[in-house]
Amino acid sequence: MTQLSQRLSHVLLTLGKELRESLRDRRTLVVMILFPLVVYPLLSLLAAQVAVARDRTRQARPSLVAVLGPDGMRDDLSARIRAQPKLLSLIERGSRADVAAGRLDSLAQLAETGASRAEIVYDASREESREAAERLSDVIASVLPAGCAPRFSLEKHNLAPEAGVGGYLLSKVLPLLIVLMVLLGAFYPAIDVTAGERERGTLETILASPIRRFDLLLGKVLAVTALAALTGLLNLASMSVTLIQVMRLADPGSTLQVPWTRAAAASAVVLPSAFLFASLFVAVGAVARGFKEAQHLLTPVYFLSIAPAVAGAVGEYRLTGLAAWIPCMNVTLLARELLLGHVSFLGALAALASTLACGCVALAVAAHIYGSERFVDPGPRERRPETIRSTANSNPPTAGQAMFLYALAFVLLYFVWLPLQRHNLVLGLLVSEWGGLLGLVVLFALFTRRPLADLLRIVRPPPRCLAGAALVGLSAWAAVAILSEWVSPVPKEVIEQLRRSLIPTDGSRGFWGTLALVALTPAICEEALFRGPILRGLRTRANPVAAAALTGLLFGVFHIELSRILPTALLGILLSVVTLESGSILPAMLTHFLNNASLVGLAYFRIDDKVAEFGATASAMIFMAGAALTALGLFLVHSGSRQARL
């Protein structure tokens, strides 16, 4: 019995020791908390919102269709098609060749040989054509004679060759898989050649040898590129065969073929992607002290790389415009278009050039790290001065504390406040802002023994700073809104829905009530968290530009809605600049309040509807005026604080 209790005691002692050690490792905590509670919800939100946007775009486009056949039957069906202008657009003349060439989405061929027969001609390797065929089927099925039996016997005829259909099916899955596999293929080799080399003790040896550091780095990057590319290619080949086999098993009558030519063409994205990820991972791995730290550093980079690839795969965007230049997303889209067999030359060029350019930038960063002495000896982990628990702590929060607060606020928002807001918007907003944001900051101040005024930097700013902040608040919304509209337009339904919920014009809340809820509350509560401990914490590890940019990005992501990330991130950056320049949180609160108040005023008095009707020239002028006034405001903040310092 004694022996048993002694063994149990040893088990418990070991359990306690291991838990203590693991929970003291902040990186373990980050992986344990940040990823399941923040990153995964964010990724799923991103995917869901992109999918919704895709469906909305698809629904908004009427399918181009034509009808062939005897006059009477054709006229009847044509009239029914014309009655649905949002879904179908009737072209007077069309042929099978037009469908095959992509000039027409679908064709209805009517015939009366004994019974009425309708053949729907479509191209199964094109999404638009499949959609058009579905819509046409619905219309034809609705043509009912008096007896209510379908008037037409319906047949569908696919013009795409089997390989084309195979390419279409593979395009649904393979592009994202290729990127994921290349990422995975680069992950561990990159750690091994950087942190692994440091941990094995071979780094000093090779650095003391007559080899240029850039040559050493390039050799490593190319090795990781080769391994990642090999992983990608093997997966591409294996998944192509597997997916087609699965399709054949599901439909034994199918004659689907592996589109080897298209799969080989899609492999063109493997090497540039592998180079990008290898350079990126080697650059990040080079700053790690060991294997474990490299894993912790690379995991967020891995997920950040996945996000645009997921957006590309789910959104099914075309490889044009901005999408062709966004790393990770563009290679996913290029692989998809290559599998589908219709790729735009300029889009492909932009995707490859952008991917290689980003890889070169990452390589340059890695070369900078390899050339620095920190690479030889990263030194011990930063030690902060010991704080005496019984006295007030005047140190700024650490970057780790800043990220922890953000993660906690995000988790509360996602799992508690958003459901509450769906149940009761006003109550949910008030509780989430005053309790979830400001309350969190107050608790943090109490827990870490920091005076709240000190933590938030509640310092009386010079009058010129306040004037500058006011100017930014009154003007930035114009520049930010128009810029966002140009880069990534927010769907009108989203704006309208937001306006209806936040700023009801039926008088149920009143102008001042709306102002207090939508302008004053976030100006105090959101600023307290973001321009307080988060910005100050990040500033301890990053230069002012990086700290402002990162805080802005976190602020944007915190607004959850994909289409609002860009404008809120831009606003967040401006607010961070105002705070850093003025050395006080109060000007940023003023800016935030006036920015939101301006938007409330515009919406409340329906002025924004008129603004939305402005043409491109007027928009450009408003943008320039807004940007100029914002710049002037920032200058006033800067000069005001400088004057005060002198």
Residue 147 DSSP class: T
Identity of the residue, 207 or 356, whose beta carbon is nearer to other proteins in the bound complex: 207
Task: Report the nearest approach of other proteins to the CB of residue 377 (Å).
Answer: 8
Q: Which of 189, 284, 268 is nearest to 228 (CA)?
A: 189
Task: Report the nearest approach of other proteins to the CB of residue 486 (Å).
Answer: 46
**Contact (CB, 8 A) for 538 and 399:** yes
What is the per-residue DSSP string for 375-444? HH---SPP-PPP--TTS---SPPPHHHHHHHHHHHHHHIIIIIHHHHHH-HHHHHHIIIIIIIIIHHHHH
Task: Report the nearest approach of other proteins to the CB of residue 382 (Å).
Answer: 11
Report the SS3 class of residue 156.
strand
Task: Report the nearest approach of other proteins to the CB of residue 226 (Å).
Answer: 16
Torsion, Cα of 171, 307, 218, 352 (10° steps): 50
Task: Report the nearest approach of other proteins to the CB of residue 221 (Å).
Answer: 17
63 burial (CB, 10 Å; 0-12 / 13-18 / 19+) is buried
Q: Which of 609, 330, 634, 252 is nearest to 474 (CA)?
A: 634
Radius of gyration of the chain (CA): 30
Task: Report the nearest approach of other proteins to the CB of residue 383 (Å).
Answer: 12
- Long-range own/partner contacts, residues 412-415 (CB < 8 A, 24 or more apart): 412/436, 412/440, 413/558, 413/560, 414/37, 414/38, 414/41, 414/560, 415/37
Identity of the residue, 64 or 203, whose beta carbon is nearer to other proteins in the bound complex: 203
Identity of the residue, 291 or 593, whose beta carbon is nearer to other proteins in the bound complex: 291
Identity of the residue, 131 or 199, whose beta carbon is nearer to other proteins in the bound complex: 199
Identity of the residue, 195 or 331, whose beta carbon is nearer to other proteins in the bound complex: 195
Identity of the residue, 83 or 206, whose beta carbon is nearer to other proteins in the bound complex: 206
Task: Report the nearest approach of other proteins to the CB of residue 185 (Å).
Answer: 18
Identity of the residue, 114 or 380, whose beta carbon is nearer to other proteins in the bound complex: 380
Identity of the residue, 198 or 262, whose beta carbon is nearer to other proteins in the bound complex: 198
Distance CA 243, CA 563 (A): 34
Report the SS3 class of residue 43.
helix
Task: Report the nearest approach of other proteins to the CB of residue 288 (Å).
Answer: 16
Report the SS3 class of residue 466.
helix
Question: How far, rounded to the nearest angstrom, does the alpha carbon of residue 18 sit from its chain's CA centroid?
Answer: 36
Task: Report the nearest approach of other proteins to the CB of residue 200 (Å).
Answer: 4
- Long-range own/partner contacts, residues 453-458 (CB < 8 A, 24 or more apart): 454/392, 454/394, 455/397, 455/532, 455/533, 455/536, 456/528, 456/532, 456/585, 457/532, 457/536, 457/579, 457/583, 457/584, 457/585, 458/584, 458/585, 458/586
Identity of the residue, 209 or 508, whose beta carbon is nearer to other proteins in the bound complex: 209
26 burial (CB, 10 Å; 0-12 / 13-18 / 19+) is middle
Identity of the residue, 92 or 373, whose beta carbon is nearer to other proteins in the bound complex: 373
Binding interface with other proteins (CB under 8 A): 200-202, 204-212, 373, 376-377, 379
Identity of the residue, 200 or 368, whose beta carbon is nearer to other proteins in the bound complex: 200
Report the SS3 class of residue 371.
helix
Task: Report the nearest approach of other proteins to the CB of residue 369 (Å).
Answer: 15
Task: Report the nearest approach of other proteins to the CB of residue 219 (Å).
Answer: 10
